[in-house]
Chains A and B, each alone.
Chain A
Amino acid sequence: MPVIELSHLQKSFGEVEVLRDISLSVDKGEVISVIGASGSGKSTMLRCINLLEIPSGGAIYFNGKNIMDKGLDLSEYRAKVGMVFQQFNLFENMTALQNCVVGQVKVLRRRKDEAEEIAREVLSRVGMLQYINAKPKQLSGGQKQRVAIARTLAMNPEAILFDEPTSALDPEMVGEVLGVMKSLADSGYTMIVVTHEMSFAKDVSNRVIFMDKGVVVEDDSPSVIFQNPKMPRTKEFLSRYFSC
């Protein structure tokens, strides 16, 4: 059974149909890169999966259960599907450690000492153990993003969604974040990564999805997408992308 399955997912903002008919299935341990031009609906798709946006049509299944059903425990579901944002979205009033503790205590009802222990573990996993007492303002972009990843990991997610996690970073900090993401991929996390980092898409992901104007145009292995894409739109996008 796939961990996440989108079936004819559709999303409109007023008159504008941003996602037209997205069907996609993600198996446990798969790492999927999503590429596509700006405005093609990549972020909207991730936000629908995390229910930050309510889909207008179609269905999203998580471990076989339709998350649009009335009985869904939204908090419990969101804890299982982590999300990492382009702008980090850390809690500015908390230290790195507190950022990783608050969700565990409030949502998962873990004891504070247990939550702090786990927070230390995940922060050490992203190489940020030294900075547990620092507030977001005192950290660089790459460090913030690693704390944001740790905050998600602390919730023991079954899948993690990344929305352009390196796009807001200075070039010299991209590597440290991609490194952490690669280590997560290697240890078996299920990941959907919206990215402009073609090297990550090529080398780390199992599958690459090319989106355009609210539809999935092509969904294949990285080697097919990058070496001989079947669809003309994919070809055109990639040639434009690599020529500039």
Chain B
Amino acid sequence: MSTMSFFEKVWFLIEQYYPLFITGIAVTMLIAMTGTVAGFLIGLVVGVVRTIPTSEHDSIIKRALLAVVRFICVAYIEIFRGTPMMIQAAVIYYGIFMGVDININIAAFAIVSINTGAYMAEIIRGGIISIDKGQTEGAHSIGMTHRQTMTSVVLPQAIRNIMPSIGNEFVVNIKDTSVLNVIGVAELYFQSRSAAGTYAMFFQSFTIAAVIYFILTFTVTRILRLIERKMDGPKSYVIYGSQTNPAAEIHIDKGGV
């Protein structure tokens, strides 16, 4: 065995342990993907709540309630952004989930969601604030409520603008799920370590893991770029020349995004 070359050892590991690597990929991707989506939803709620406007003309009760909710949101964001996810995983798992009979992957999903939510909340709040106030005033001036303005005007643009950051969170999660090995989640890093163990082929096994991680993040980045381009829609528009004769339509390509 010691006479094998590096590549022979890599091949040996793959042949021997490919089921481990494949489940590792599946668990990592599943947790990263569901955790990012759930984290996005958490962040959306927190970000939207934090940007609810108040004025001195609102009732005391409404203002007091919002102040409390805002404080909780800020505490959540600060605590989860200010501590490592590995520690969060350990504390939440041993502290909360230990007594309960819970599937380890569900626990992992919950931890990644809560952690991602804290980052997403700030990303979404930034996206909301960056939409110029004029559009909000335009919506208010024709009678649209804050909620209608958010759902029809502000959020669609905010979410489009933060797509790169959302994608980035997904990529970060693919890599950072590796810390969940502390609570024994069978993600890719955990599996690579198992594969390396028996024959002490650490270098080879982790090289395989590195290549897999890179392929995963690289592919995801490309796919997200494609989705972004789809979301932008066509760069040209059709002059409404004739409804019956398509030849009369003029396609204009002006600026766009």
- A residues sitting closer than 8 Å to B (CB atoms) are 50, 52, 54, 74-79, 82-83, 85, 87-95, 102-103, 106-108, 129-135, 137-138, 148, 151-152, 155
Query: 10 A–B contact pairs at CB < 8 A?
Result: A88-B134, A89-B141, A90-B135, A93-B160, A94-B153, A102-B153, A133-B238, A138-B252, A151-B138, A152-B142
Query: Do the beta carbons of A79 and B142 come within 8 Å of each other?
Result: yes
Known contacts A54-B55, A138-B254, A138-B255; decide if A103 and B240 are in contact (CB<8 Å). no
Per the bound structure, the CA–CA distance linking A102 and B139 in Å amounts to: 9
User: How many residues from B make CB contacts under 8 Å with A?
Assistant: 29
Chain A residues with CB under 8 Å of B256's CB are 137-138
Question: Is B140 located at the chain interface by the 8 A CB criterion?
Answer: yes
Per the bound structure, the CA–CA distance linking A155 and B145 in Å amounts to: 15
Chain B proximity of A125: nearest CB distance (Å): 15
Query: Do the beta carbons of B135 and A78 come within 8 Å of each other?
Result: no
Query: Do the beta carbons of A89 and B138 come within 8 Å of each other?
Result: yes
Per the bound structure, the CA–CA distance linking A162 and B204 in Å amounts to: 71
Contact among A85, A107, A130, A148 with B144 in the assembled complex (CB-CB below 8 Å): A107
In the A-B complex, the 9 residue pairs with the smallest Cβ-Cβ separation, listed nearest first, are A89-B138, A79-B143, A75-B143, A103-B142, A83-B141, A107-B143, A89-B134, A78-B143, A134-B237
Given contacts A75-B143, A85-B138, 13 further A-B contacts (CB under 8 A): A52-B140, A85-B137, A89-B137, A89-B141, A91-B135, A93-B157, A94-B153, A103-B144, A108-B143, A134-B252, A137-B255, A138-B252, A148-B138
Contact among B143, B148, B254 with A74 in the assembled complex (CB-CB below 8 Å): B143
Per the bound structure, the CA–CA distance linking A242 and B179 in Å amounts to: 72
Query: Do the beta carbons of B257 and A50 come within 8 Å of each other?
Result: no
Query: Do the beta carbons of B240 and A131 come within 8 Å of each other?
Result: yes
Contact among B135, B239, B257 with A131 in the assembled complex (CB-CB below 8 Å): B239
Q: From A107, which residue of chain B is reached at the shortest CB distance?
A: B143
Chain B residues with CB under 8 Å of A92's CB are 135, 157
Question: Is B197 located at the chain interface by the 8 A CB criterion?
Answer: no
Chain B residues with CB under 8 Å of A106's CB are 144, 148, 152
Contact among A88, A132, A151 with B142 in the assembled complex (CB-CB below 8 Å): A151
Chain B residues with CB under 8 Å of A131's CB are 237, 239-240
Chain A proximity of B59: nearest CB distance (Å): 11
Per the bound structure, the CA–CA distance linking A95 and B240 in Å amounts to: 13
Per the bound structure, the CA–CA distance linking A93 and B157 in Å amounts to: 6
For B134, B138, B142, B254, which residue has the most chain A Cβ atoms within 10 angstroms? B142
Question: Is B241 located at the chain interface by the 8 A CB criterion?
Answer: yes
* Interface of chain B: mostly helix, strand, loop or mixed: mixed
Chain B proximity of A167: nearest CB distance (Å): 14
Q: From B55, which residue of chain A is reached at the shortest CB distance?
A: A54
Query: Do the beta carbons of B240 and A133 come within 8 Å of each other?
Result: yes
Query: Do the beta carbons of B144 and A54 come within 8 Å of each other?
Result: no
Per the bound structure, the CA–CA distance linking A135 and B156 in Å amounts to: 14
Per the bound structure, the CA–CA distance linking A242 and B239 in Å amounts to: 42
Kindly supply a per-residue 1/0 record for chain B positions 213-237, scoring 1 wherever the CB is within 8 Å of any chain A CB and 0 otherwise: 0000000000000000000000001
Chain B residues with CB under 8 Å of A137's CB are 255-257
Question: Is B57 located at the chain interface by the 8 A CB criterion?
Answer: yes
Contact among B57, B135, B156 with A89 in the assembled complex (CB-CB below 8 Å): B135
Chain B residues with CB under 8 Å of A52's CB are 137, 140-141
Chain B proximity of A69: nearest CB distance (Å): 13
For B55, B134, B240, which residue has the most chain A Cβ atoms within 10 angstroms? B240
Chain A residues with CB under 8 Å of B156's CB are 93
Q: From A157, which residue of chain B is reached at the shortest CB distance?
A: B142
Per the bound structure, the CA–CA distance linking A235 and B143 in Å amounts to: 39
Per the bound structure, the CA–CA distance linking A76 and B237 in Å amounts to: 34
Known contacts A52-B141, A75-B144, A93-B156; decide if A132 and B240 are in contact (CB<8 Å). yes
Per the bound structure, the CA–CA distance linking A50 and B144 in Å amounts to: 13
Chain A proximity of B167: nearest CB distance (Å): 20
Chain A residues with CB under 8 Å of B237's CB are 95, 131, 133-135, 138
Per the bound structure, the CA–CA distance linking A88 and B241 in Å amounts to: 25
For B138, B140, B252, which residue has the most chain A Cβ atoms within 10 angstroms? B138
Per the bound structure, the CA–CA distance linking A108 and B148 in Å amounts to: 13
Known contacts A75-B145, A137-B257, A138-B256; decide if A91 and B139 are in contact (CB<8 Å). yes
Per the bound structure, the CA–CA distance linking A88 and B134 in Å amounts to: 8
Chain A proximity of B180: nearest CB distance (Å): 38
